[in-house]
């Protein structure tokens, strides 16, 4: 996952047509909770999300609030933007490298490939 974060839409596995879609991924938690309260819809909180023994929780519960308070009140949005940029760059490089590899294949035999190294260089 890293700085790219969780993608809002991805295949269950490489090559699969089955997609996992996370429609609320870009919605702030406070907005979701406010909506649920407004509609009088009960919700549950996973108690493990409140424990600092997991790195993701330490970041969310300690580090992000420290950055918001001491450095940049909009750090969450900055990190979201950074993640989007990273994902766009990853996708671009992934597509370019796939195309380059495809263009460099000279011969294909079962599980073996002969590549034109001049294309790769």
Please choose, from the candidates 79, 52, 76, the residue with its C-alpha nearest in 3D space to the C-alpha of residue 65. Answer: 76
Residues 71 and 112 in one domain: yes
**String of b and e for 80-107 (b: at least 16 CB within 10 Å)?**
eeebeeeeeeeeeeeeeeeeeeeebeee
Using the predicted structure, report yes or no on whether residue 1 has a pLDDT greater than 80: no
pLDDT computed for residue 120 by the predictor: 84
For the chain, strand residue ranges (E) read 9-11, 19-21, 105-109, 112-115
Residues 37 and 66 in one domain: no
Residues 53 and 40 in one domain: no
Residues 92 and 113 in one domain: yes
pLDDT computed for residue 59 by the predictor: 93
pLDDT computed for residue 69 by the predictor: 97
pLDDT digits (tens, 9 = 90+) for 11-55: 999 889 999 999 998 899 999 999 999 999 999 999 999 999 999
Domain that holds residue 28: 1-44
H or E segment to which residue 93 belongs: helix 75-104
Residues 60 and 112 in one domain: yes
Work out the pLDDT band at 6, boundaries 50, 70, 90: confident
pLDDT digits (tens, 9 = 90+) for 64-109: 999 999 999 999 999 989 988 998 999 999 999 999 999 999 999 8
Contact of 60 with 46, CB cutoff 8 Å: no
**CB count in 10 Å sphere of residue 69:** 10
Instruction: Provide the whole-model pTM.
Output: 0.71
């Amino acid at each position: 996952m890293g700085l790219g974060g969780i993608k809002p839409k991805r295949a269950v596995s490489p090559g699969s047509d089955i997609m996992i879609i996370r429609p609320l991924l870009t919605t702030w938690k406070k907005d979701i909770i406010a909506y649920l309260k407004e509609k009088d819809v009960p919700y549950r909180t996973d108690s493990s999300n409140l424990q600092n023994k997991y790195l993701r929780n330490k970041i969310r519960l300690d580090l992000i609030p420290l950055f918001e308070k001491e450095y940049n009140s909009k750090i969450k949005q900055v990190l979201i933007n950074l993640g989007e940029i990273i994902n766009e760059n990853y996708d671009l490089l992934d597509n370019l490298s796939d195309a380059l590899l495809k263009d460099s294949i000279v011969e294909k035999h079962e599980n073996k490939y002969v590549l034109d190294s001049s294309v790769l260089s």
